[in-house]
Structure 1
């Protein structure tokens, strides 16, 4: 009798696992199908959509968002979250621009921007590791704080004088491909191998899957969280340097909205907010989907209000197609 009950339990467990995998596959196929439909319909409506210049322009436009989203993926697979990445991007960008303006050195400016992101990310990690509040609340508070810092250190005005960085990032290209696209690709590869081929990545998935079980298995939860948030901050610093170079200036609000769009791209790409699974390649698909939708609607003459509505529907559908573990 007990053997029969055990067998039925195993069958139910296997069925549940198969159901989860089937649902995950549906989400991935839906993303791919949506991308294809957008491409075909826009190409029919405006043949310029498939031109090399336009496709490179899409990649150029989403480069900073993609970099931020890749860092957010690291956190979400570990059941973490960082709502301060937009404000962090603004602060790191302003520090980059101020350093270049003060020293005349692009290298020092870049290093200052990266260090700013790394330090803020590490602070976020230390606060989250205390477990006294959820990452949502902690990073929401940090977002508000950093928004104020950005205004204070910039004087509420754009910080100009990044000519060298602008010449390289804003105008630079290799084999007709803009440099920001290369930077996005490099960050993508680094994050991919970090999540799939490193101890830190395995720990991130373990913590996201079941933090208590990970703690009982001997994983140093606090140290791993600090490391993950620090890496995310460093990646945001990279995005800040890229965006500052593209804009040829740093604005106190230039990162506004990046936190929500980055999370949207990660979720659309198949990484659930509850953590435990996900892939940076899926995030890339989510980033491209957001970029394609915006570009397609611009080419088809659709207003910004409708763009927001469509993006909202896509994000909602992506969440619905996900199934909790």
Structure 2
């Protein structure tokens, strides 16, 4: 045994030393890239940094931000919802159809929000059975809801929500559009829920280690239902806001929202595997996506290229998350 060659520790230590460096570089590469885009856009079009344009960015991302806050809750708890876009379409249609049939904006708003919460409950019930992964279950729900949206709308836009448009499409307070206030209220509400309530603490625990959370007495099944229901309510709020902004509800108006919501959450620092994250970071991700989209519009870059850039951002964010 005295002739045994000692195990070299240099490589192992070097790899540990390199990992934090890789994580540090990873964190700032995306940020530097986005800052470069902002600077180039400001140079190419001075209107980019004007107060009106910055308010317009906040206005445009308000519905996405509200939906992304709900996705943040799920990802922290190791969940996922791919049906967000289709859910948003259905909730918006329910809102518009209720207003059209009753003439009551208040009933329409309540119907839209409750429709999102109801669908969220169904997702939570299905996911909590552990018969399949959230990815598969919500993918199936997405397809189902896309069909429901076409059926209840007849494949056509539902108009006639003028009072809702007056509030969310045209209304401002102190020069700031109302949808921005709604997004801010949703941000504060989710932040308080995740940081100051038992529901939030349980979500972090389940996201970190579901089996350990179950053994410690946390009601994991009920927690999942609650998290998906809360996500559904937020999507319902986003649907009402978007319906008001568009002054109509369309069967495909939520298309792509699930992708952009996940992108914003991941860019904001919440890992796909759960256990940690913050809604403040998600707000940063939403704003960065809004800045990129707005800058490309001002520079005259087509929508197809914008999709390419969004895909690259998502891919980079996921890869950099794995390096942390």
Structure 1 residue 303 displacement after superposition = 2.0
Structure 1 residue 298 displacement after superposition = 1.0
What's 1:7 paired with? none
What's 2:260 paired with? 261
SS of the equivalent of 1:273 reads coil
Instruction: Mark the CA change 1:276 to 1:163 in structure 2 (over 3 Å): closer, same or farther.
Output: same
What's 2:55 paired with? 56
What's 1:304 paired with? 303
For 1:61 and 1:33, the matched residues in 2 are separated by: 23
For residues 119-158 of structure 1, give each alpha carbon's deviation from its aligned partner in whole angstroms, at most 9, with x where no partner exists: 1101110110000110011111111111111111111111
Structure 1 residue 28 displacement after superposition = 4.6
- Asked if the contact 1:166/1:247 (under 8 Å) is kept, the reply is yes
- Asked if the contact 1:73/1:279 (under 8 Å) is kept, the reply is yes
What's 1:217 paired with? 216
- Asked if the contact 2:23/2:323 (under 8 Å) is kept, the reply is no
Structure 1 residue 289 displacement after superposition = 1.3
SS of the equivalent of 2:277 reads coil
For 1:192 and 1:27, the matched residues in 2 are separated by: 26
Instruction: Mark the CA change 1:20 to 1:162 in structure 2 (over 3 Å): closer, same or farther.
Output: farther
What's 2:43 paired with? 44
For 1:154 and 1:293, the matched residues in 2 are separated by: 33
Instruction: Mark the CA change 1:218 to 1:19 in structure 2 (over 3 Å): closer, same or farther.
Output: farther
What's 2:158 paired with? 159
Residue-pair matches, total: 313
For 1:139 and 1:99, the matched residues in 2 are separated by: 26
Structure 1 residue 21 displacement after superposition = 7.1
What's 2:140 paired with? 141
For residues 226-261 of structure 1, give each alpha carbon's deviation from its aligned partner in whole angstroms, at most 9, with x where no partner exists: 000000000000000000000101001111111111
- Asked if the contact 2:96/2:249 (under 8 Å) is kept, the reply is yes
Structure 1 residue 26 displacement after superposition = 5.0
For 2:243 and 2:144, the matched residues in 1 are separated by: 21
- Counterparts of 1:275-294 in structure 2, within 5 Å, are 275-294=274-293
Structure 1 residue 35 displacement after superposition = 3.8
For 1:172 and 1:20, the matched residues in 2 are separated by: 50
For 1:194 and 1:236, the matched residues in 2 are separated by: 16
What's 2:6 paired with? none
What's 1:323 paired with? 322
- Counterparts of 1:99-118 in structure 2, within 5 Å, are 99-118=98-117
What TM-score, normalized to structure 2?
Answer: 0.91
Runs of 5+ consecutive residues of structure 1 not aligned to the other structure: 1-11
Aligned-residue CA RMSD in angstroms?
A: 2.0
Between 286-295 and 69-78, the greater mean CA deviation after superposition: 286-295
What's 1:243 paired with? 242
For residues 32-64 of structure 1, give each alpha carbon's deviation from its aligned partner in whole angstroms, at most 9, with x where no partner exists: 434432222211111010011111111111111
What's 1:175 paired with? 174
- Asked if the contact 1:68/1:236 (under 8 Å) is kept, the reply is yes
